[in-house]
Amino acid sequence: MLQVLSRQNIETIIKFAHKHHLFLMADEVYQDNIYAEGSKFHSFKKVINEMGAPYNQMELASFHSVSKGYMGECGMRGGYVEFFNLDPQVFVLFKKMISAKLCSTILGQVVMDCVVNPPKPGEPSYDLWLKEKTAVLDSLKQRATLVKQAYGSIEGIRCNEVQGAMYAFPQIELPQKAIDKAKVSSVEVSFCLLTLQDDVWVKKKVLFNNEKFFFTTPFIAFFQ
C-alpha cells in the first residue's frame, strides 16, 4: 500500500505467478484512491487479457468493496469477488461453501450496486455525484500530502510520497551512535520476540500480548 503499481509492475507479478503456477488474487479496493501525478489504476484482469497467451488463461480473483475508495461505507459490509478463468469444478465448490455462510445485508448489496453502477452523464444525479466524488478524493489527496509533509518535517523520520490508498509508512532513521550502542548491548532478536509472548508493560501505558489483547492506554483494549 501507499505506492501505486505501474503497468510494468503488474506484468512482472503476472509473469511470476504464471512461472510458479500461482493463483492470482488482486485486492483492488483502492482503485479510486490515486493521488500522485502520472499514477494510474490498472486492472489485473485487463492487463492479463492484453498480455495475451499464455497469460490470459491464468486464474484470477479480483476483489472490491464499498468500505474503501471514495465511498468509505465501512459499516455497510458490501463487497464482491470476480473470478476469471476459474476452474468450473472449483467454482461449484466455492458456491457450495458460500451458500452455507451468511451473506451481506440487503443494504450492503444495494450500496455495492450503486458503486458498480454509478450515475451516467446526462442522468439527473450525475453532476451532484461527480461533484461529491471529486470533493472526497481531493480531500484525501490533500491529507495524503499533509501527512507526508508532516512526517518529513520531523528530524529522523522519512516518508515516501503517498501515491494512493489511505496509509503512510514512515521510516525512522536512527542516529549511528544509537545503532552502535545497540550493537554493543548485544540485545538479541529473541528477546524482542519473547516480549510478544508474555505480558510486558512499557512505561506503564502500553501492554503487548500476542495471544489475548493489547492496550494502547490503561483504559482502551483491542481484543483478538
Domain boundaries, the chain: 7-116, 132-218
pLDDT of residue 71: 82
Task: Please give the average per-residue pLDDT across 183-190, as a whole number.
Answer: 72
pLDDT over threshold 90, residue 70: no
Of the listed ranges 65-79, 93-107, 119-133, 189-203, the least confidently predicted one is 189-203
pLDDT over threshold 60, residue 204: no
pLDDT of residue 88: 93
Whether the CB-CB separation of 156 and 172 falls below 8 Å is answered with yes
Of the listed ranges 18-22, 175-179, 206-210, the least confidently predicted one is 206-210
CATH architecture of the domain covering 7-116: 3-Layer(aba) Sandwich (3.40)
pLDDT in tens, 82-130: 999 999 999 999 999 988 888 788 888 999 999 999 999 999 999 999 9
Residue 87 cell numbers, joined = 476452474
- Residue 120 DSSP label: P
* Residue 44: other Cβ atoms inside 10 A: 22
Evaluate whether 7-116 and 132-218 have a shared fold.
no
**pTM summary value:** 0.72
User: CA-CA distance, 14 to 51, in Å (whole number)?
Assistant: 9
CATH architecture of the domain covering 132-218: Alpha-Beta Complex (3.90)
* Residue 10: other Cβ atoms inside 10 A: 19
- Residue closest to 3 by CA, chosen among 116, 195, 148, 112: 148
- Return the higher-pLDDT residue of 152 and 189: 152
Whether the CB-CB separation of 117 and 110 falls below 8 Å is answered with no
